[in-house]
Chain A
Amino acid sequence: MSTSLLVVQLFNGLQLGVLLFLVAAGLTLVFGVMDFINLAHGVQYMLGAYLAVAFYRLTGSFFAAAALALPASLLFGLAMELMVFRHLYARDHLEQVLATFGVILFLNEGVKIVWGAAPLNMGMPELLSGSVPLMDGLRYPVYRFAIIGAGLAVAGGLYLFVNHTRVGMWVRAGAANAPMISALGVDIKRLFTVVFGFGAMLAGFAGVMVAPILSVEPGMGDQVLILAFVVIVIGGIGSIRGAFLAALLVGVIDTLGRSFMTDALRLVLPPSPARAIGPALASMGIYLLMAAILALRPVGLFPTKGRA
């Protein structure tokens, strides 16, 4: 009984980790290449989910909605880059934080105006709505497996893209030393735009994937954004590999902590304080992890830059 619960929660943690990776990958690339803190990255995730719902209502098919929502979130990301973010690359981090904070306020409220403040729901594709038996008496929904599979596939694709293509090489070089590759004749402005749009699309993809299983509401991106920050800080800013490992770590630790912390505390504490402390400790878990890692390695597990 307990092992089956553990297996289920492990899969849930993996699923959360994969989603976090999709959001964190764009964030870490944008920061690594452009030295730009984009708080508005979580909003891209929210918009992905909203666009998926909107297109789902229009077409009635999940796959059509996903196919339409991806290019739409790409276009939106490119438009935002062109209108706002492009002018912020040269500014200092404080101003970037403030401006992108303004973008968050605007988009969260704008979504409320367009789609209302109430949470929206979206149907699951029939193809993926069943569940599969894992062991006897234990079934796990196919859709969550599909999320894990899609996320891992994107991670694999991203690995090939970053490590084995010319643009990927520029991205890695840009993360290590942007002025240098600019001096070597790479059009860094265009590279920035490409990376930004790509990151926005990845976050949008994560939003599309969660739309059928979570309620789609304003502000849903903020929580993910902060978790993604934790992920990229743990993984080392600018490192895709670090983001991947840290995302899985954070996803699994957060999920397991939430489901088992209270029971684990009950082994050493009487029940009532355990019930009181358990949830608090569980929600602090990943932040404590981050604090511990930063105390030992102030630039994360896989730093990309030579300088701190």
Chain B
Amino acid sequence: MFEPARIASAAAAHLEALSFEERFAAGLLVLMALLPVAALALGGGYLLLIGERAMIFAIAAVSLELLIGVAGLISFGHAAFLGIGAYAAGILASHGHGTLSLALPAAIVTSALFALLTGSIAVRTRGVYFIMITLAFGQMAFFVATSLAPYGGDDGLTWPTRTLILGTRVLKRETVFYYVALACLGAVYLLAGRLVGSRFGRVLRGITDNERRMEANGFAPYGYRLTAYVMAGATCGLAGFLLGNQVEFVSPAYMHWQRSGELILMVLLGGSGTLYGPMLGALAYQLLEEGLARLTEHWKVILGPLLVLLVLFGRGGIAGAIERWRRGELTVEGLWAAVTASLRGAGASMVRRWQRAEVAARGALALAMPRCKAGWATIAAGSRRCKAALSEARVSLALLVDRSVTGALTRWRRR
């Protein structure tokens, strides 16, 4: 009954039915699934570790995309969930309860609870207040972790071992762990896709677009937003669980606010508004970090300006670029033309500025010159007048002396 041709054609038909985004994501996942084979061929276990890390961060980035792209909530404290998931599982493991049936639910439920607690306050606020309050809650989690003295405090907590599955250490095998992470990423992608397409997701988007209209239609934004926040937190808790498992260690640095910034960066680098974008962004960021770190120890000096350039010029991130390329708006010639045009524009504006400055300087000079001349003339006239007065005074003094001397002489003669 095994008919490869029929299965292939059925698969092709399924593939036809998928949107470009879904096909792209599927391709990406298949590529990731083939990576261990490549790693085996190249003999690099290190490649596997990078791949695992990229997939774990991809889960976190997809969960953040649910907030940023779908719910319109810019969370700057998302790394807290990474840490909470890892700490929940790690603390259980350090007490000897590091089994899948306990650790995984603990990681997810703790993250969800933290999201519920903080979200119930944070979701009331809007815009920049939301950014700052999530940042503050992230810091709060960070400081709590640093003061967890029984579990390592600042130094972090080393897990005794990776989570046990059915009492076995099967996760210790790197390939197994890799495919578990891949399966998690695939499941998260599918679930997130279903969520975005569901009624819930559409209501959420509607609220992001126009809150008042949705309210008038009878939807209470608060509940929808809070639910989205809790779901994103729980998903990121799963990523934290995997991250802690990968390195068998957890420290407060997981929750550092710069990590939250990096998560936002992954989402925007890949392109918010799609689900494959953040996945791609997480992958690209890992590669970027690896590459730059190899280049120089101070790789953040390069990353920082890259971020600024990404914001200034890279609208829509990688996904946006792919989208434009598909629509035929982005071609190499077009890009080249844009670059040269912008360079020429910058040059022209510099020339224009210089000319304007020159004109202004000339004008100032022209304005100042007559005044200078007039001032000089006044000074010269004054000094001339001064001289004249001086000579006059001298003459009158001489006359006075002369007169008084002659007067005295005549008086003396008369006597």
A39, closest chain B residue (CB): B261
Q: Mark out the residues of chain B between 138 and 174 whose CB falls within 8 Å of any chain A CB in the assembled complex.
A: 139-140, 143-144, 146-150
- Is A184 engaged at the interface, CB distance under 8 Å to the other chain? no
Partner of A101, one of B132, B144, B149, B261: B261
**Residues of B close to A103: CB separation below 8 A:** 304, 308
Q: Name the distance in Å between A51's Cβ and chain B's nearest Cβ.
A: 19
The CA of A87 and the CA of B307, in the complex, are separated in Å by 14
B117, closest chain A residue (CB): A291
Partner of B143, one of A31, A109, A280: A280
- Which residues of A are at the interface with B, using a C-beta cutoff of 8 A? 31, 37, 84, 87-88, 91, 93-99, 101-110, 112-113, 222, 226, 229-230, 232-233, 237, 276, 279-280, 283-284, 287-288, 290-291, 294-295, 298-300, 308
Partner of B147, one of A112, A226, A280, A291: A280
Q: Name the distance in Å between A270's Cβ and chain B's nearest Cβ.
A: 15
Please state if A93 and B136 are interface contacts (CB–CB under 8 Å). no
Please state if B268 and A229 are interface contacts (CB–CB under 8 Å). no
**Residues of A close to B148: CB separation below 8 A:** 280
**Residues of B close to A108: CB separation below 8 A:** 300
Q: Mark out the residues of chain B between 255 and 291 whose CB falls within 8 Å of any chain A CB in the assembled complex.
A: 257-258, 261, 264-265, 268, 272
Partner of B132, one of A112, A233, A276: A233
- Is B131 engaged at the interface, CB distance under 8 Å to the other chain? yes
Please state if A106 and B121 are interface contacts (CB–CB under 8 Å). no
Q: Mark B200-220, 1 if CB is under 8 A from A, else 0.
A: 000000000000000000000
- Is B125 engaged at the interface, CB distance under 8 Å to the other chain? yes
Please state if B143 and A110 are interface contacts (CB–CB under 8 Å). no
Q: Mark B235-273, 1 if CB is under 8 A from A, else 0.
A: 000000000000000000000011001001100100010
Please state if B301 and A113 are interface contacts (CB–CB under 8 Å). yes
Please state if B307 and A102 are interface contacts (CB–CB under 8 Å). yes
- Is B127 engaged at the interface, CB distance under 8 Å to the other chain? yes
The CA of A37 and the CA of B264, in the complex, are separated in Å by 15
Q: Name the distance in Å between B251's Cβ and chain A's nearest Cβ.
A: 16
Please state if A110 and B147 are interface contacts (CB–CB under 8 Å). no
B262, closest chain A residue (CB): A101
- Is B229 engaged at the interface, CB distance under 8 Å to the other chain? no
Best-buried of B139, B149, B311 by chain A (most CB within 10 Å): B311
- Is B68 engaged at the interface, CB distance under 8 Å to the other chain? yes
Please state if A98 and B305 are interface contacts (CB–CB under 8 Å). no
Best-buried of A91, A230, A300 by chain B (most CB within 10 Å): A230
- Is B321 engaged at the interface, CB distance under 8 Å to the other chain? no
The CA of A98 and the CA of B261, in the complex, are separated in Å by 7
Best-buried of A87, A229, A276 by chain B (most CB within 10 Å): A229
Q: Name the distance in Å between A113's Cβ and chain B's nearest Cβ.
A: 6
- Is B190 engaged at the interface, CB distance under 8 Å to the other chain? no
- Is B124 engaged at the interface, CB distance under 8 Å to the other chain? yes
Q: Name the distance in Å between B131's Cβ and chain A's nearest Cβ.
A: 6
Please state if B139 and A226 are interface contacts (CB–CB under 8 Å). yes
Apart from the given pairs A98-B311, A233-B132, A287-B136, 19 other A-B contacts in the complex at a CB distance below 8 Å = A37-B128, A93-B127, A93-B131, A94-B264, A95-B268, A101-B261, A101-B307, A102-B303, A102-B304, A103-B308, A105-B258, A106-B308, A107-B304, A112-B298, A226-B135, A226-B257, A288-B140, A290-B136, A298-B126
- Is B87 engaged at the interface, CB distance under 8 Å to the other chain? no
- Which residues of B are at the interface with A, using a C-beta cutoff of 8 A? 68, 74, 76, 118, 121, 124-129, 131-133, 135-137, 139-140, 143-144, 146-150, 257-258, 261, 264-265, 268, 272, 298-301, 303-308, 310-312
Please state if A98 and B268 are interface contacts (CB–CB under 8 Å). yes
The CA of A294 and the CA of B122, in the complex, are separated in Å by 8
B268, closest chain A residue (CB): A98
**Residues of A close to B308: CB separation below 8 A:** 84, 99, 102-103, 106
Partner of A283, one of B124, B144, B310, B311: B144
Q: Name the distance in Å between B38's Cβ and chain A's nearest Cβ.
A: 31
Please state if A229 and B150 are interface contacts (CB–CB under 8 Å). no
Please state if A299 and B129 are interface contacts (CB–CB under 8 Å). yes
Please state if A102 and B305 are interface contacts (CB–CB under 8 Å). yes
The CA of A279 and the CA of B154, in the complex, are separated in Å by 13
**Residues of B close to A102: CB separation below 8 A:** 303-308, 310-311
The CA of A17 and the CA of B140, in the complex, are separated in Å by 19
**Residues of B close to A300: CB separation below 8 A:** 129
**Residues of B close to A280: CB separation below 8 A:** 143-144, 147-148
- Smallest CB-CB A-B distances: 9 pairs: A102-B307, A106-B304, A283-B143, A105-B304, A99-B311, A109-B300, A280-B147, A287-B140, A279-B147
**Residues of B close to A291: CB separation below 8 A:** 118, 121, 133, 136-137
Please state if A294 and B121 are interface contacts (CB–CB under 8 Å). yes
Please state if B307 and A230 are interface contacts (CB–CB under 8 Å). no
The CA of A9 and the CA of B406, in the complex, are separated in Å by 93
**Residues of A close to B310: CB separation below 8 A:** 98, 102
The CA of A34 and the CA of B262, in the complex, are separated in Å by 25
The CA of A226 and the CA of B140, in the complex, are separated in Å by 11
**Residues of A close to B128: CB separation below 8 A:** 31, 37, 93, 237
Q: Name the distance in Å between A257's Cβ and chain B's nearest Cβ.
A: 11
Q: List 19 A-B contacts (CB under 8 A).
A: A31-B128, A88-B312, A91-B311, A93-B74, A93-B131, A97-B74, A102-B303, A105-B304, A106-B301, A109-B299, A230-B132, A280-B143, A283-B143, A283-B146, A284-B143, A287-B140, A291-B133, A295-B124, A299-B125
Best-buried of B121, B132, B133 by chain A (most CB within 10 Å): B132
The CA of A96 and the CA of B76, in the complex, are separated in Å by 13
B153, closest chain A residue (CB): A279
**Residues of A close to B312: CB separation below 8 A:** 87-88, 99
Please state if A222 and B257 are interface contacts (CB–CB under 8 Å). yes
B149, closest chain A residue (CB): A276
The CA of A82 and the CA of B255, in the complex, are separated in Å by 33
* Contact status of A287 and B268, CB under 8 A, knowing A102-B303, A109-B298, A112-B298: no
Please state if B140 and A284 are interface contacts (CB–CB under 8 Å). yes
Please state if B265 and A98 are interface contacts (CB–CB under 8 Å). yes
Please state if B264 and A276 are interface contacts (CB–CB under 8 Å). no
The CA of A104 and the CA of B146, in the complex, are separated in Å by 23
Q: Name the distance in Å between A300's Cβ and chain B's nearest Cβ.
A: 8
**Residues of B close to A276: CB separation below 8 A:** 149-150
**Residues of A close to B133: CB separation below 8 A:** 233, 290-291, 294
Q: Name the distance in Å between B356's Cβ and chain A's nearest Cβ.
A: 15
